[in-house]
Amino acid sequence: MPCRATREICRVCWRPSAVGFTVPDRVWEAAVHPEFREKVLCLACFTVLADERLVDWADGIEFWPVPAVQMLDGVAA
């Protein structure tokens, strides 16, 4: 069976991430435990970690969709 690109996998919950996002480094470092800082996190796990540490993660966050069809067509990187 040929190998196909798939969505990134969250390294906390191990589910595919359907929404890409970025936050400023200062927010990421305050919200995410050092063990996971160099790994992919889904939006849901990131927000839980940030909320647990009382980090305001809304400032500077950017989102983009990651539809499965784009992954199959090789559109998304």
**Structural domain boundaries enclosing 51:** 19-73
Q: How many domains does the chain have?
A: 1
- What is the predicted pLDDT for the residue at 3? 54
pLDDT in tens, 29-72: 999 999 999 999 999 999 999 999 999 999 899 999 888 777 66
Q: Which residues contact 26 (CB under 8 A, 6 or more apart)?
A: none
Does residue 54 fall inside a structural domain?
yes
- What is the predicted pLDDT for the residue at 33? 95
Does residue 66 fall inside a structural domain?
yes
Cβ-in-10-Å burial (0-12, 13-18, 19+) of 33 comes to: exposed
Does residue 13 fall inside a structural domain?
no
Does residue 56 fall inside a structural domain?
yes
pTM above 0.85, yes or no: no
68-77, long-range: CB within 8 Å, 24+ apart, which pairs?
A: 68/7, 68/18, 71/4, 71/5, 71/6, 71/7, 72/4, 72/5, 74/5, 76/5
